[in-house]
Amino acid sequence: MNEKTNEDLQHSLSDNSRRLVQTSDNRTPSVYLSDHAYARVDTSNQLDTDEDCKPSHSACDTEAYQYVESCEDRVMCKFCSRKFVCSSKLNNHMRLHTGAEPFSCDVCDMHFKSPGMLRKHLKMHEGGSCKHCDQKFTEPSALRKHMRTDMIQQERRFSCEVCDKKFTKLSHLRRHTLTHTGAKPFSCEICDKKFTLSTQLRSHMRIHTGEKPLSCKVCDEKFSLSTQLRSHMHIHTGDRPFSCKICDKKFRYSWHLLDHMHIHTGEKPFCCEVCDKKFRQSSTLSTHMHIHTGVRPFSCELCHKKFTQLSSLGAHMRIHTGEKPFSCEVCDKKFSRLTSFTRHKRIHTGEQPFSCELCHKKFTQSSTLNDHMRIHTGERPFCCTVCGMKFKWASNLRNHMHIHRRTTF
């Protein structure tokens, strides 16, 4: 009976037309595959019984059914040769090629390629919304996450009167208000330094106790503060997380970046209380203070000469070793000091980087510019110890001293 029906159906189809046909027993629609093969269409996953959607086979979708053939009990797409175990899976796949969207929403008339996409969309109309702000969500998990955030905001009932920042606990609000009042209720019993938070005081106390509870896992070096340990770890990782926005130079530590930024801004925030000279870096100011205090903490182990700067000691040591690591590429002259080498190079380049702000005269050395500025300021820093006469330049004082020597003899 079935063989005869199939035979009749084959004759009823023209040679140039293949289409979706119905079996004689009116049970399941089938797709004509080839001269001797059919594939039964599984329509169980379609939403034709669902009130919320309307499957509609477009002409393009019907045409897609034509590109099917039987191959080792599987059906294959003739666009991409992918094989499927049943025609229903092939039909879903074919919509990728045809762009057909046969499943439509009754509420908003949006169309979708698969029943699953339609079901997910229908959740938008099923009341998945926040009770407080009416925002809608497709996934229950997203709604739950939103509700937790909203509850936290609701719980933040302690508000700062100055900046309106909100807190969940009154103790957090009280601690926050100290930032506005400037109060520092926690005081160190040893050095009387004051702090806003008790945690800051506890960290500070490690300076006096010498406690270093934090240890580097790489080199076992110990630290008092977690910030010190984090900064130290950049040495092992090679990270330079702090970058200059102007020249893209990178730094390991935030304070190095701050010092570097003064180069671009020209700012010199560190001022000597003795002579009012200003510096870009606090470390440079500390070194400068040795001039006024007379402290020379760096000593040569060979001749015991002392220096105010470590770099000066390093340069001095080359006198003993005879090392001259800085060599001129133009004339091959060698130098023991970098400053001498840099100054020498300007002979070849003609560079004059130091300019007078008043008359715009340029100089190769900063010391020469400083001497020149006394013409404008009238400053006479060199004083004769015999007669008290003052001079602008050291050379003038030396010449003057010959007068006293001749008088003495």
pLDDT for position 389: 92
For strand 37-40 and strand 29-34, is the pairing parallel, antiparallel, or unpaired? antiparallel
In a domain, 136, yes or no: yes
Question: Long-range pairs for 72-81 at CB < 8 Å and ≥24 separation?
Answer: 75/33, 75/39
- Whether residues 23 and 46 share a domain: the answer is yes
Distances (CA, A) of 61 to 67, 87, 117, 241: 11, 13, 18, 56
pLDDT for position 138: 64
- CA 345, CA 248: separation in Å to the nearest integer? 27
- Whether residues 109 and 131 share a domain: the answer is no
Q: Supply the CATH number for residue 359's domain.
A: 3.30.160.60
Domain residues for the domain of 136 are 125-155
Q: Supply the CATH number for residue 51's domain.
A: 3.30.160
In a domain, 96, yes or no: yes
On whether the CB atoms of residues 70 and 37 are closer than 8 A, the answer is yes
pTM for the predicted model, two decimal places: 0.33
- Whether residues 22 and 106 share a domain: the answer is yes
**Residue 258, SS3 per DSSP:** helix
Q: What is the arithmetic mean of pLDDT over 248-254? A: 85
The DSSP output letter for 243 is E
In a domain, 52, yes or no: yes
- Whether residues 29 and 78 share a domain: the answer is yes
Number of structural domains in the chain:
3
- Whether residues 73 and 41 share a domain: the answer is yes
In a domain, 389, yes or no: yes
- Whether residues 374 and 395 share a domain: the answer is yes
- CA 196, CA 178: separation in Å to the nearest integer? 7
pLDDT for position 150: 56
- Whether residues 75 and 143 share a domain: the answer is no
In a domain, 254, yes or no: no
In a domain, 199, yes or no: no
Instruction: Encode pLDDT of 130-185 as tens digits.
Output: 766 667 766 666 777 766 665 555 555 678 888 888 877 777 888 888 888 888 88
Instruction: Encode pLDDT of 30-87 as tens digits.
Output: 333 333 333 333 343 443 334 443 444 444 444 444 444 444 567 888 888 888 888 8
pLDDT of 303 strictly over 90: yes
pLDDT for position 359: 93
In a domain, 40, yes or no: yes
In a domain, 290, yes or no: no
- Whether residues 29 and 105 share a domain: the answer is yes
Instruction: Encode pLDDT of 377-388 as tens digits.
Output: 989 988 999 899
Going by pLDDT thresholds of 50, 70 and 90, the confidence category of residue 125 is low
